Amino acid sequence: MKNKRIIQAYDTVTPSAAQKAKMLDAILEEADLKEQPRKIHRTPNVRTMKPGKKRRTSPVLPLVAALAMILAAGCILVQMARQPEVPVTYADPIQTMTAEKTAGDHYAPVINKYNQAIAQGWTKEQCEIDGISPRVQAGYDVAKAGYAFLDLDGDGREELIIAEESTSRTDNIWDLYTTLEDGTPIQLWVDELEGGQCKLCEDNVISISYSMKDELEQTFYKLETGQLSMLGQLQWEDEDTVFHTDAEGNTRQVTSGEGQAIGYSYEHKKLNLTWLEKYQDPDALERYTPVLEKYRTALLENWDKYKCIENNISSIAAFGADTRTSLGWCLRDIDGNGTEELLISYGNESGALVDLYSIQPEDVTEENIVRKHSSTSYPLGVENGICHLAKSEGAIQYTLCEDGTVRYQFVADGTTNWCDYLVKPWGLELQDVLVYYRDQDSDKTYARGPHENDLTYISKEEAGEFIAAHVPVGNLPVTPLVDWDEYEVAPQSAYASVVERYKQALAEKWDLQQCYDNDISLMISYFVDEPDRISAQLLDLDGNGVEELIITDGMMIYDLYTMQNGSPVKVLTGWERNAYRLSANNVIYNQGSNGAASSVHNFYQLMGGELVMVESVVFDAIKDFDNPWFRSSDGETPEVPITEEEANRIMDSYPAMSFQGIDLLDA
């Protein structure tokens, strides 16, 4: 690559491109300047837009520029002496370059490098060595990564933008290149996973922001003559302390509202991306065929949860028709060892995994897995050379994170466990554990360590940093397990028959006995004279992509249905002394009473089509009149004594939520 200092010098004269090349060689030889390797900086080398502002230059630059001008003058005099009668017309070097090669030709080495990184599953270190963004490393989502050519500065030469489609309105730029006059790519900015984010705005303004704990820095640039020139900058030191620097370098403090207005004035611009190549190893796909066929059979034959468990696949495959149509697979080299893992997932924004498999190396057997690694890894078994790494079930949820870690989360009995694993040939190797104890003292609520038996209490802030350290991979590019266009798909509203039953009950004014005989909540009979108060709502309570049907008065849940094996299945029904309502985070609060001296307050989450208890508080004045409040593990038995204040704190932590949606009874 040509030395940038020399480029500035010889761009000040006007001979042809060929003459400039000869002049450059002479200057380099005369000044004995050696080419320096290009270094990628965290922030771009920029200048402000202030007219006439002087920039610092290298001490050798005046000498180089003087030599360049002398040589230029010499070349021109020689040409005039040889052909004084013929006027010399020099071709525009930009037009000549453009005519010979396209932007795709000039940037081909960069694009090919990205495609190679995807195909070979490069690690973060490999990406950094080759000067490309580590965003493309194994474990990151490259399904929506692509490139675009745009002439950002209007000089006739297009820039290269490597970006990821973030949403339907924005793209995150990973890499930004321009070229020298000879077409050599020059890197202007690269995402180095240090909290930076780059987006293109209208009028080809480039927005680059860095987030550092509570501080945020956002700078806006225009590309001019191969350099990023600063238009302005916002620095958020905290929520109320904002500084704005204009194009001339003048800084002043502004209000939070003014800072937001300045930031919002630069509207993001959508890129028309050409996707980078998606690589799939045909050999790996062939090896995983038995697993994929097992899943296809489970979906097509409507296996129930017990048959799924019996065949060692996640019982999530036994969910209703809507879920079955969205379940898919993809291959991804998570650990960067050159062999792709098989991911079964919905492909939604959460990065949730249903099942995870890897190809077992020949030198690793099931016997030495258990013997050598049982203390730190948890394989689910090996079959036909395929290692079953993880399986989500009920309250157990696995998530793939952007850095290639796999996070395990388990919620039960007032505690939540987070475990971070690395994918290894013998299974998942445990790296870190965080446990949340809801019933502990405030200074003993969170504990962290390398293993569940080796934990140390930490602060809430430290726990938050642990949870936020690994960002889930969103929108995995899954291929549907079954081409459902070839099969009969369930009606658009699978709950239609259930909804009709409630319409009939209200229209015909069913009494308690009729409601009981038709398996609907007895409470419906209380609303036959006010049918408008009852509605049927659809809400995805467990985040699996399948909406549940809720019969409600806007607050209480009288009946709840989910889909299993393509049919509606009732999950719960409520009545006067056994009431259900929806709380924050889709927790279902159940309050039951056997009289003034006995009541239960149970908190559930819907998982795998079943209610899984998160927490339970029991009031039992018969057991202990003076101290009647207890924690319970089964929702009935008073076990661990607690104070009334603690009981109220637990119940108050689940605020009531109302339902908002389409009233199916009016449909």
Same domain, 30 and 147: no
Task: Tell whether 493 is covered by a domain.
Answer: no
Task: Tell whether 52 is covered by a domain.
Answer: no
Same domain, 304 and 270: no
Task: Tell whether 555 is covered by a domain.
Answer: yes
For residue 404, the model assigns a pLDDT of 83
Same domain, 67 and 104: no
Task: Tell whether 178 is covered by a domain.
Answer: yes
Task: Tell whether 50 is covered by a domain.
Answer: no
Cβ atoms < 10 Å from Cβ of 112: 11
Same domain, 473 and 521: no
- Look up residue 8 and give its amino acid: Q
Q: How far apart are CA 145 and CA 56, in angstroms?
A: 38
Domain that residue 186 falls in: 99-275
Q: How far apart are CA 96 and CA 105, in angstroms?
A: 14
CA atoms within 13 A on the CB side of 581: 18
User: Which of 250, 275, 300 is the C-terminal boundary of a domain?
Assistant: 275
Same domain, 107 and 136: yes
Residue-by-residue DSSP string for 44-92: --EEE--TT------TTHHHHHHHHHHHHHHHHHHHHHH-TTS---PPP
Same domain, 171 and 202: yes
Structurally, the chain folds into a number of domains equal to: 4
Same domain, 471 and 407: yes
Contact 196, 210 (CB under 8 A): yes
Task: Tell whether 375 is covered by a domain.
Answer: yes
Within the chain, what is the greatest distance between any pair of CA atoms?
A: 119
Same domain, 653 and 595: yes
Same domain, 479 and 618: no
Phi-psi region of 295 (alpha: psi -120 to 50; beta: other; left: phi over 0): alpha
For residue 203, the model assigns a pLDDT of 92
What angle separates helix 17-31 from helix 61-82, to the nearest 10 degrees? 130
- Which single residue is written with the structure tokens 């509202």? 257
For residue 272, the model assigns a pLDDT of 85
Q: Each residue of 472-515: pLDDT tens digit?
A: 887 777 888 877 665 543 434 578 888 888 989 999 999 999 99
Same domain, 145 and 71: no
Same domain, 261 and 123: yes
> What 3-state DSSP class applies to 626?
coil
Q: Can you give the pTM of this predicted structure?
A: 0.41
Task: Tell whether 108 is covered by a domain.
Answer: yes
Contact 611, 588 (CB under 8 A): yes
- Which single residue is written with the structure tokens 């505690």? 415
Same domain, 84 and 121: no
Task: Tell whether 652 is covered by a domain.
Answer: yes
Q: Each residue of 314-353: pLDDT tens digit?
A: 887 666 545 566 788 888 878 777 678 899 988 766 668 8
For residue 112, the model assigns a pLDDT of 81
User: Which of 247, 275, 303 is the C-terminal boundary of a domain?
Assistant: 275
Residue ranges for the chain with pLDDT beneath 50: 1-16, 27, 30-43, 45-99, 321, 370-375, 488-492
User: Which of 49, 69, 90 is the C-terminal boundary of a domain?
Assistant: 90
